[in-house]
Chains A and B, each alone.
Chain A
Amino acid sequence: MSALLRRIAWHWRYDEKRELWIGWWTLVVFYNLYGLLFFVVARTQPPPKPSLEPSEIVQWFDDRHYGLLFGYAIVFIVGGATAIMNATLAYTMRRMSVSRAFAYSYLVIYALATLPGMLIMGVACTVGAMRPDRDPELMSWLYDFAFLSFEGTMGVFLIGSLVWMVAVLLDRNRVFPKWFGYLNLCNALTEVVVAPAWIFKRGAFAWDGAIAWWINMAVFVTYTAVFLTLLRRMILREDFGSGPLPDLPR
């Protein structure tokens, strides 16, 4: 433990790349933490059925009363960490040979994405859980508000991924391999196929369905693991110049 602390102190003092490493570690720690909070503590993922009756929805809130209230409270405290995460990802575009407009677009799009991406869901679940005796019809509205804001807000992630894709494909500074550009397209397409979640309450296209949820989650997890790996390599290669990045040092 003390060896680890000494290492961190060394990097804090001497490492020229400490700002980038702060961003990278924030990404790694908080993606894991969000996964833990959504899947294990709040238990809102994998999502429940959209077809539940109001009385079943009341029961759903009741079953995870403290999980929702406690889990989302932690999400609210650390939710702002997305700012430094998105700033780090925007920096990858700033390091490319493309216009800074790409970095700025990505930054603002993903800053707004935090609201429908998790905070609105947290507010709706907190309000639902805090009064178990609320009118079941209104509980059902809160339930829809939570899951449809979370899964049904598509544009921010669609356009955000496309901005990153175009930047990677145009870049001459070798920041990311070109195939990562096309992986961004896969992530963007998940936001297209989730749209029917606004229409269907059962089946593969419903918000808990095989396509709208399971395939999308698989793509998202792969995409995230890939860009975390590529970002780490980029930081190792970073020379703070403005030309092509060197190869990974051996």
Chain B
Amino acid sequence: MRRADGEVILLWTLPAVGVIWLSAFLLFPGFVQPMSPTLSAEEVAAFYRDPENLPRIRYSMIVFNWFAVGLIPVLALIVMQIRRMAHRTPIFSYAIIACAAGGPTIFLMADLFWLLAAFRPMRDPQQTLMFNDLAWVTFSSQVGFLIAQSVILALAIYLDRQERPVFRPWVAHSNLVVAALLAPAAFVGLALEGPLAWDGLLSFWVRNLAVGLWIVVMGFVLGRAIYRQRSAEELAA
């Protein structure tokens, strides 16, 4: 019996965090039918003042505040797998650690702006509108670390030259596809209507589905790599 190193526990936090994120996402009234950026300041203020919405806004964002960093242990597991790859330097694993530190911090900023808007809904509507804009723009446009982590992971996989590579090449290809799907959301400020607007096809639906797709694919291949590593080690012992 090998000693428990805890990696399997960290791996199985992923489905739990996934369910919590999805529930918080559905609880926030501005996501199910994404809020339009064309709403006037008074309409945005009314959204936060609505007694139906206000508790849902607060509770969903409190849950996101708790679990926004929930993906970091999984990124750390990916770092552990990159360290097993046939590289000459630890540059790729360092780079994923850097992404893991930067990405969730940005998401927490968006979360703070939403919670601030909801804290005093009777504020001047212009101020509520600004906090709402800051929240949505931060949430939608900040795809940089997600793109970087996909591209770096793809590079690491392509350069993992050994007989049995840690991840198959298709994992690298799909990471590049995810990176490409995330990119248009960075242009969210350019339009209040249409596919680039923060409630639009590219900036909202494609971007968020790409994040979901990445979590599912990486969770699956990571789990397979960890279990394969364990059985290989047991066989060798």
- Tell yes or no: B60 within 8 A of A by CB: no
Contact B88 A70 (CB under 8 A): no
Task: Please tell me if the beta carbons of A20 and B89 are within 8 angstroms of each other in the complex.
Answer: yes
Answer whether A138 and B126 are a contact pair too, CB < 8 Å, given A91-B91, A112-B102: yes
Q: In the complex, which residues of chain A have a beta carbon less than 8 angstroms from the beta carbon of B129?
A: 131, 134
Asked if residues B186 and A73 are in contact (CB atoms below 8 Å), the reply is yes
Please give the distance in Å from B99's CB to the nearest CB on chain A: 5
User: A19 and B87: CB pair below 8 A?
Assistant: yes
CB contacts under 8 Å to B, within A68-100, are: 68-70, 72-84, 86-88, 90-91, 94
Q: How far is the CA of A150 from the CA of B188 in the complex (A)?
A: 21
A76 touches B143 (CB 8 A): yes
Q: Provided the pairs A107-B98, A127-B133, A138-B130 are in contact, do residues A19 and B92 lie with their beta carbons within 8 angstroms?
A: yes
Enumerate chain B residues within 8 angstroms of A78, measured Cβ to Cβ: 144
In the complex the two chains form, is B138's CB within 8 Å of A123's CB? Answer: yes
With A19-B159, A77-B144, A129-B189 as contacts: A83 and B89 at CB distance below 8 Å: no
Which chain A positions have C-beta within 8 A of B90? 87, 91, 94
**A217 surroundings in chain B (CB, below 8 A):** none
Q: Which residues of B contact A84 (CB under 8 A)?
A: 91-92, 95, 98, 148, 152
User: Given A111-B101, A126-B141, A87 and B189 touching (CB < 8 A)?
Assistant: no
| Contact call B89/A77, Cβ cutoff below 8 A | no
With A126-B141, A138-B130 as given contacts, are A73 and B187 in contact (CB-CB < 8 Å)? yes
Q: A77: which B residues are within 8 A, CB to CB?
A: 143-144, 147, 183, 186
B102 engages A111 (CB within 8 Å): yes
Cα distance, A165 to B43, chains bound together (Å): 53
Are A86 and B98 neighbours in the complex by a CB distance under 8 Å?
yes
Contact assessment for A83 and B130 in the assembled complex, using a CB-CB cutoff below 8 Å: no
Q: Which of B134-191 contact A (CB under 8 A)?
A: 134, 137-138, 141-149, 151-152, 155, 159, 183, 186-190
Picked from B92, B94, B142, B155, the residue with its CB within 8 Å of the CB of A119 is B142
Do residues B186 and A83 form an inter-chain contact, with CB atoms below 8 A?
Answer: no
> A130 and B189: CB pair below 8 A?
yes
Within 8 Å CB of A90, what residues of B? 94
The reply to whether A127 and B145 contact each other, CB–CB distance below 8 Å, is no
Given A94-B90, A111-B98, A127 contacting B142 (CB threshold 8 A):
no
- A138: which of B102, B127, B146 is its contact (CB, 8 Å)? B127
Q: Chain A residues near B134: list those with CB within 8 A.
A: 123-124, 127
- A114 in contact (CB, < 8 A): yes
- Tell whether, in the assembled complex, residue A123 and residue B144 are in contact, meaning their CB atoms are under 8 Å apart: no
Give CA–CA (A88, B93) in the complex, Å.
11
Name the contact of A115 in the complex, choosing from B91, B92, B106 (C-beta under 8 A).
B106
B192 sits at the interface (CB 8 A): yes
Whole-angstrom distance from the CB of A55 to the nearest CB of chain B?
A: 16
Main secondary structure of the interface of B (DSSP, over half): helix
| B130 x A134 contact (CB < 8 A) | yes
* A-side interface mostly: helix
Residue in chain A with minimal CB distance to B147:
A80
Shortest beta-carbon distance from B194 to chain A in Å:
14
| A residues less than 8 Å from B148 (CB atoms) | 79-84
- Are B187 and A69 in contact (CB-based, < 8 A)? yes
Nearest chain A CB to B92 CB, angstrom units: 7
Q: B144 touching A126 by the CB < 8 A rule?
A: no
B105 within 8 A of A: yes
* Interface residue from B89, B146, B186, B192 paired with A74 (Cβ < 8 Å): B186
Contact status B186-A87, CB under 8 Å: no
Contact B91 A88 (CB under 8 A): yes
Whether B35 is near chain A, meaning CB under 8 Å from some CB there, is no
Task: Decide if A80 touches B145 in the complex (CB within 8 Å).
Answer: yes
Q: Please indicate the chain B residues that have their CB under 8 angstroms from the CB of A74 in the complex.
A: 186
Minimum distance in angstroms from B154 CB to a CB of chain A: 12
Contact check, B189 vs A73: say whether CB atoms are below 8 A apart: yes
Q: Which residues of B line the A interface, CB within 8 A?
A: 37, 87-92, 94-99, 101-102, 105-106, 109, 126-127, 129-130, 133-134, 137-138, 141-149, 151-152, 155, 159, 183, 186-190, 192
A-B contact pairs, 18 of them (CB 8 A): A70-B187, A72-B189, A73-B141, A77-B143, A77-B183, A79-B145, A80-B147, A80-B151, A83-B98, A86-B95, A87-B90, A87-B92, A87-B94, A107-B97, A114-B102, A122-B141, A123-B138, A127-B130
Residues of A that sit less than 8 Å from B by CB = 16-20, 22-23, 66, 68-70, 72-84, 86-88, 90-91, 94, 103, 107-108, 110-112, 114-115, 119-120, 122-124, 126-127, 129-131, 134-135, 138, 141-142, 240
